[in-house]
Each structure stands twice: as C-alpha cells, then as structure tokens.
Structure 1
C-alpha cells in the first residue's frame, strides 16, 4: 500500500523489468544499450527513482517494444509518477492537495473503474448543484470562490466519460445514495434524472443495492478499483479517508476487492430495475413533504 506516485513508480518499474527480461537482457546490458550506468536501470526497476517519458521510450526502443498502446501508457505513467497530476490540474495547484491531483491522474489514465458508493453519488456522475452541496457539507468554511473552483474540478474530471475511448465505469450504489436529499428537492431531482441519462451510455453500468438486501460486504467501506489498458498488474484499489487516500496494489488486495465488487454486483438490482428505482426516487422528489 502507499500513495499514488510511489505505486505507479513501482508498477512502472516492474513492467519495465518484465519487458527487459522478455528481451533477454540483463540490467547491465540494458544500461549499456542506452548509455546509462547499471544502477540507474536498477533504481527505475525497483521504483526508487522516477523516470522521464523520454527515458522510458529509450528503454522500450532497446527492448524492441513496438506496441503503440503499451508505449503510450508507460510514457503517461512515467509522466504522472513524476508530476503527480495531469496538465489541466496545474491551474488548480494552489487549491488541490497532492493526493487529489494524484487521484485525478490515475483516473485520467485508467481504462475502466469499478466503484462502490454507500452514501454519495460517485464524483463522475454528480451534477453541479449536487457537487456544490456536497463540497459545502464536506469542507465547511470554504469561500464561495473555492467551492466554485472545486466544483469546476469535479466537472472537468467527468471528461473521462466523454474521451475517446471513454472510461468504462461500473458503479454500484446503495439505495441511501438516491434517498439522501443533498442540496434540496430540486437539486436532488436533477441529480437523479442525470443518473438516468448517464446510465444510458454504453460504457456506464449503474446498479443499486436496495435497502431490503440488508448488510453486505463494503457497506461500511466504499472503494474504487482502477484498471489500465494492456497491463493488468497496474490495477490499483483506492480507499478514501477524510484527509487522504489509501492505495492498495498487492495482488491479494486486488483479488479481494475484485471479489467484493462481484459480490455487490450480484446482490444489487439489475441495471433495468435499478433505473426504475432511481426513477421512482426522482418522482418522490416531486411530492411535497
């Protein structure tokens, strides 16, 4: 476990070592091919030091790796492992804590995300009004300008759902998420209708665990699993706390949380029945009281 940049440095190093082994080279031979000292290759492979995208490209050339998707992913991984963020977040560098910028970086590189939320709408599916109400509630005391900026960040993150290719999102939410009136009836009604709209996208799957299902794994601990193209070993589990995020990268952790997500998917209503429940909740917001 660790924080995002360290996780990605280790993952990147492991993948580069695997590719070197596949090429039949020792670390010393690899270093000689690119004109480095062997210790630099060793530090990169063990994640003890960062590496520039250009240096990753030199290693991939030495290892005769031609796959453009793999090269692009490892280059982007090297960039984010060093910077801890993506380009557009730099405009908010004075506002966003490093762990949030790092989370955004992971999200922007992932091919798919699986998330369990037990109390709030997943960030990628929030409307501006809902996001504003949640930000005010969770981070009391912020100025209106800072709240507005954080909402802008939340909405900018949602571009991953409109990218080419888009992020594949599977979200399981507790019924409490759709019943908790955040921001008042009008804001909640808008949010619920937005969930119906976004769930119609081919790359979004939304399911609800109804109250009558009782307890289940994950009820007390929402989590998110990011998966990446080409390299399954880059997958990571993210668990949010009030002041930080925990990143789990061990294979046994990934297997445990993947199994947990499968179990909550099986427990949840089907996508169609889930949308029916959300539609009923939206109609309830129209009712007085």
Structure 2
C-alpha cells in the first residue's frame, strides 16, 4: 500500500488526540514549532506537510506525553516518513489520479484517495450505476449529457480515469458490494444499445469472487434505501498497533459531496445496508433479473 494516505491520516488522528488530551489549541501547537495553526491542522488531517522530526518532538514535549507514548509516536512517525519516501521514489506520492485533476470536481480528489486504499466498498445506488462497474459507452453517455460542450479529448481522458479506477477490481484483497434499485436498470443513458452492454457487464462482473451485484426490485415497495438515498461506505484494513482508520460514508450531489465519519452515523448506514440487503434479490436471482431486462432492451 505504498503511497497510501491511510497511515498518515491515522497518525494525524492519533496526534490530534494527544493535543486535545493536553488541552492545547492549534494556535498553541503552531507557535510551539514556529509554524501556522493551519500546518498543524494539515498534519492532524493526514495531509502532507513540511513538519520535521525535531518539530514533532517539540509537539510531544508540549503535550507532556509519557516515555512509552513518545516512543510509539516517534516510531509511527518514522513509518509514515519512510512510506512517503517510498511513494516519492516510485513517483506516486501525489496519487495517479492527480494527472486527471482537471477532469473532476475538487471534492472528488479526497474520494479517489479513499477509494484507492479501501479494502471493502459497499454502495447503494438509486439512479446510476456506480463508477467502478460502468462500461465506457454508459459513462460516455453520462458525460455527454452533463457536459455537452466537452471536447473529445477531455471525454477520452474522463474515460481513462474511469478505467484506472476500475483496476481496483483486479485486487483480490478488495471487495465491492453493489446494491442497485431496479430504477438504475430502467434508466437508459446512451439508449438501449448502451444499456444492453452495461447490464451484461453487471451480470458478468457479478460472478467475480470479490464483486457482488444485488438488485432491489420495484415489487419490494418501500424500503430503507429510498430514505437513505445513494451512498458508498468505505472501510479500511487494520493498521499496525492500536491505530485504525474509521469507515467513511460518501454521499454526492450535483453541487458537492459529504464525507461522514461520526460513529453513530456509520452505525446508521450499516443498519441501512443490512435492511437493504434483507430485501434485495440474491446474487443469482439478481443476475437473472438483470439479464431479463437486457433482453427486453434487445427486442
């Protein structure tokens, strides 16, 4: 997981806990190491900074941590630094997606970082197929509808970005659980030809060991997902020692997105997932359902 931001984010959260336990403000911490409070905030948010090891030691002095916590903090810090060096050496310090930064909204940059390192993504979609399982024709139709004046070059770059994201599906340590409202299968970006291809792709990729595609048919009536709306839950692998990266729920609208991390919020979404899965068709029945609709489009 070279280049991952997850250990850095976990370390930042650990450091924030020490500061808050000590009752120190961001301003006080910044003054202690002769930098701005914004830099300390970036450090605690798991973002890259120019904070040095001597400066980190000064922060630990300010927080009055014990010898054991200090040693652990410095050891973790060294792991984060070594990982950053390895990522820089491989040319992936900023993430491969940065080459396409002009092709997505600013808020999506953080999502791509999380998607790159999650080991379990569960998504519920009411309107469109999730990007990780979209076909090029389907994606192209969405791009042309939402950005009708976009140049052919930029359309192709967006398709390249989508293809790069989908490389995660080749990772056997990554699992994708997709729950689709029947409405997703009935909407027709690109018309019947594009939908036939898209639905066949869903039926095929759903047979992969690490991918699950399940459909909630209209016949179910009201179900929890209609109130929860579309969302994605990203979970992360366990880290060394007691550090952990908590799950994140991502919800997106036409004008922005939300990243939800509060424990009670995550619990509510996990409960919603359980309820949605309870009424969804099985994977086998979903494949048959999807194939049936594809045949309808072909006639």
* Secondary structure in 2 matching 1:230: coil
Unaligned regions of 5+ residues in structure 2, if any?
24-31, 58-68, 88-92
Specify the structure having the higher radius of gyration (Cα). Answer: 2
Per the alignment, residue 249 of structure 2 pairs with 237
CA contact (8 A) 1:121 1:173 kept: yes
TM-score scaled by length of structure 2: 0.73
Question: Does 2:272 match 1:273?
Answer: no
RMSD: 3.9
In the TM superposition, what are the counterparts of 1:143-182 in structure 2 within 5 Å? Answer: 143-163=151-171, 165-182=172-189
Per the alignment, residue 107 of structure 2 pairs with 99
User: Which of these residues, 231, 236, 255, is aligned with residue 228 of structure 1?
Assistant: 236
CA contact (8 A) 1:44 1:51 kept: no
Distance 1:15 1:229 in 2: 17
In the TM superposition, what are the counterparts of 1:24-43 in structure 2 within 5 Å? Answer: 43=40
Per the alignment, residue 205 of structure 2 pairs with 198
1:92 is displaced (CA, Å) by 1.6
Distance 1:254 1:137 in 2: 33
Distance 1:204 1:176 in 2: 21
| CA-to-aligned-CA distance 1:45-103 (integer Å, 9 cap, x gap) | 982684559979x9999418999xxx57x957xx8xxxxx9532222223333212221
1:192 is displaced (CA, Å) by 0.7
CA contact (8 A) 2:9 2:47 kept: no
1:149 is displaced (CA, Å) by 1.5
Per the alignment, residue 12 of structure 2 pairs with 13
Per the alignment, residue 215 of structure 1 pairs with 222
Distance 1:129 1:272 in 2: 25
Per the alignment, residue 297 of structure 2 pairs with 285
Q: How many residues align?
A: 259
